[in-house]
Structure formats: C-alpha cells, structure tokens
Structure 1
Amino acid sequence: MSAPVKGILFDKDGTLFDFNATWAAWAYDFLTDLAGGDASKAAFLAGTLGFDYAHRSFHPESPVIAGTPEEIAQYIMPFVQDVPDAELLDRMNQSAANAPQIEAVPLAPLLDQMRAAGLRLGVATNDAELPARSHLGRAGVLDKFDFIAGFDSGFGGKPAPGQMLAFADQGELDPAHVVMVGDSLHDLHAGRAAGMRCVGVLTGLATGPDLSEHADVVLPDIGFLPDWLKQQGLWPVPETLR
C-alpha cells in the first residue's frame, strides 16, 4: 500500500500564483523603470531574461521561471553598470515584494480544506523569503503554512533538495509521506532528490510533456489536488472534500 500523504510542499510562483499573469506585468514595469523609460534599452534587457517586452510574455526557458533573484540579476548586471550590483538586487527584491499576485485558484478555501484533513503545508521557493512572505500575506494565506523557505533561508535553493528535507524534518515527516507540487523541473527534481512524490501543475510556463516524465501526475492546477489524492487513496478525505 502507498504511504499516506501527511504533508504538501508547494512551490510559489507558477503554482500557488499564476506565473505569467503575475510576473509578466512585474517584469515589464521593473525593466521599464530600470531603463529609465528607454523602451529600446528595456527591450534589450528583457531579451537577456527571456522576456518578450513587446508582447509581455516569458519564453518557456526564461531564467526568471526557476532562478533565484541573485541568478536573475546576473543576467542584466553587465548591461546596467551605472547601478551597483547590491542596489540592483535590492531594487529587484523590493519591486518583486510589491508585485500583485494572481492566485492560480482561490487559495484560502483550498488550503483550509487541506489543513482540516490534517495535512502539514509548506512553501519552498527560489524567491527570497521576505517577498515570499509578503506575497502570501497579501493573499491572506501566510498563517496557513507551517513552513516557508526562500533560497536565502539557509537550506539552499531548488533543484537541490535542502528545502524539501527541511520541511520534512521540521514537521517530523518521512519524505515519502510528502508531496512536492510545482510547475518547473527544478521543483520536481528537488522533490525527487528528497524522496518525495511529485505533482506537476500547468499554471507556470512548462507544458505537460515537459513535466510528465518527472512527475507522478500533471494537473491543470492545484485545485485538482484533493480529488487526485482521494483517487489514489493516499489520505482519508473528510466529507468537506467529497
């Protein structure tokens, strides 16, 4: 019999929040500001990040999708030499913390249902922890998570499994009893390396074929998780989820 699920660890961007709906607007505004309103320069900077400035959309292989803020900043630092590296990173983090987040599904009721089922919930993101907490707080769901880690929280970033193992350790859970849910290969590789089940979702930029080889299942969004878990018989489902 399959090990029951006792915890769910979510990626943030592209999983809890729709990636393109959230970050395309942020990228356009941030790069326009960084370029001092020069559209040609902003478009050039966008190209280094795999972002189509004119159409406000990300290329599926954009480093923004799964990269840490420091990794993303490295792509544009050579072309904004008038901005000190530390200042660029600070501006990026401050701007990202204030970016309006578009929920992939209504988060509060879904997370409440999962908590009512006795599941421990966590967030593991390659974003910094401070903006991650800001985003979750503005969505009104910060207090629904038992664990929140960014790349700078002391456990490393994905695709390494440090954040996954820290969640399991803090919750006194066997990783085999945890499901990692994400929209990118970084998420799935990290979950697999930690010995967790992995669920892919299509609210990022990766396609089903991109994720399917590395996931136990690929779902349209996290709203399908309760039904999938019920169908797999992985945990007792209370009446509210039937």
Structure 2
Amino acid sequence: MIEALIFDKDGTLFDFRLSWGGWTRELLAELGDGDGLLATVLGYDGLHNDFAPDSPVIAMTTPEIADILLPHLPGLSFAELLDTMNRLAGDAPMVPAVNLPAVLGALRARGLKLGLATNDTEVPARRHLDGAGVLGLFDFVAGCDSGFGGKPAPGQLLAFVRACGLTPARVAMVGDSLHDLDAGRAAGMKTVAVLTGIATRADLEARADVVLGDISELEAWIDGLVAV
C-alpha cells in the first residue's frame, strides 16, 4: 500500500531542540540580541533550550522567519539577514532523532522511494543529510527555495510524486508539525506524525492517520497496513 515516504527534516529526521536550539543561540548572538527581544520574537527560551509551540522556527520557511526578524534589525538588509541565517544553518550541528543510516537504509531496502520536503533552504538541507550519511538514500530533496513553495502548501510533495512517477495515495508524508500533516493531506497522501519535534500527540492526532514515537516505527506501521 505504501510505495514511498516523504519526510520533513527538522523534528522528524533530526531532534528539533538539540539541533535548532544551537542554531537559534548562534543566530541571536550574531545579531546582538542583548535585550532578548529577538529571542521573544522567535519564541525561544535560551535558559531551557526550548521553543514555544507557536515559534516561527518550528514550521516557517527561512525567508518567513527573516521577515519577522527584519523589522527589529535596523540597518540590516533582508538579503544580509537571509545569508546569515543560511550560513549558520549549514553549519548547525544536527542531532539525528534515530540511527538514520540504519532506519532509512532499511526502508530503502524494502524498495521504497524516499523524499525530503523542508521549510529550510535546500543547500543547508543537503548538507545536513550528507553530514548524517544519508543524502544518497534520497530520491528527491526540496527546500523552500527549490521552486515548489513551502509547507503547508503541497507543492514540494507533488513535485516528489511527479519526479518519481508515484501515486499520491500510496505515499506517506512523515512529519512532526501540523504544517507537515496539512501538506500531506492537501497532496492526497497518508499522514504520519512523529513525536521528535515540539508538538504533542494531542496537537497532532486529529490530522494524522497515525502518530508514532519516531521514524524507527515506520516499518511496523507499513507491515500493519499490508496485513490489513
């Protein structure tokens, strides 16, 4: 029943707090957030390295986050801010949520096509996958700047379908946020939520076909579909 999986990146393949907390701290330091205003705008609690559930860092695209920050950064252009954000993102130490080579390798071994749809930009996303040793396992990688838009719109997901000759109903979107699930539903795909991001089971379950602890549980879920 499932012939392909398209994954969100942050909070799904990589632990959100451990990975993007570091990026946020570095960004705030570089922008000189002495009074904590920018941290508040980003919904980031530096003391506990945590994010508010509605933090723009969780689900917005990089340009959207830059738009929110820019009014508080007089003298800095949008292009300069975006360059800074992308540079720091590419260098951010990403912490895998699971053993990615083992888990994704097993899914590929089943004959599944794998895609990535992230609201991060494409170049840092590819660097993160490469750093985790899994870039070569993906048939398709799209960021918010790849020409297909960003989530919750379904453009990236539908581009994956076209690129790999897939049927949307036989593809599952796997993510940790409502943006991911809404994009999957809009694309006509099954929706799988995982709990390695900021959102809770209660936040996600109404818009997901299934809620899993992390992506290592995907094989068992797929086997259950086949058994039915």
Task: Identify the residue that residue 239 of structure 1 maps to in structure 2.
Answer: none
The Cα offsets for residues 25-62 of structure 1, whole Å up to 9 and x where unpaired, read as 11012101210xx532xx21110111113332110110
| Partner SS, residue 104 of structure 2 | helix
| Partner SS, residue 59 of structure 2 | coil
CA distance in 2, matches of 1:107, 1:152: 25
| Partner SS, residue 211 of structure 2 | strand
From 173, 180, 190, the counterpart of 2:173:
180
| Partner SS, residue 180 of structure 1 | strand
Task: Identify the residue that residue 101 of structure 2 maps to in structure 1.
Answer: 108
CA distance in 1, matches of 2:46, 2:2: 42
CA distance in 2, matches of 1:181, 1:234: 21
- Do the aligned partners of 2:26 and 2:88 also contact (CA within 8 Å) in 1? no
What letter corresponds to residue 32 of structure 1 in structure 2? A
How well do the aligned residues superpose, as a CA RMSD in angstroms?
1.2
Task: Identify the residue that residue 7 of structure 1 maps to in structure 2.
Answer: 4
CA distance in 2, matches of 1:85, 1:178: 36
Structure 2: any 5+ residue segments left out of the alignment?
Answer: none
CA distance in 1, matches of 2:38, 2:146: 29
TM-score (norm 1): 0.92
Task: Identify the residue that residue 155 of structure 2 maps to in structure 1.
Answer: 162
Give runs of aligned pairs for residues 217-228 of structure 1, distance below 5 A: 217-228=210-221
- Do the aligned partners of 1:180 and 1:199 also contact (CA within 8 Å) in 2? yes
Matched, 1:23 2:20: yes
From 57, 72, 83, the counterpart of 1:64:
57
CA distance in 1, matches of 2:26, 2:115: 30
Structure 1: any 5+ residue segments left out of the alignment?
Answer: 236-242
| Partner SS, residue 153 of structure 1 | coil
| Partner SS, residue 156 of structure 1 | coil
CA distance in 1, matches of 2:99, 2:215: 10
Percent identity reads 55
Whose Rg is larger?
Answer: 1
Task: Identify the residue that residue 200 of structure 1 maps to in structure 2.
Answer: 193
CA distance in 2, matches of 1:166, 1:234: 30
User: Cα offset for 1:78?
Assistant: 1.1
| Partner SS, residue 37 of structure 2 | helix
4+ residue runs over 3 A deviation? none
What is the number of residues matched between the two proteins? 228
From 133, 137, 141, the counterpart of 1:140:
133
| Partner SS, residue 75 of structure 1 | helix
| Partner SS, residue 85 of structure 2 | helix
CA distance in 1, matches of 2:22, 2:223: 36
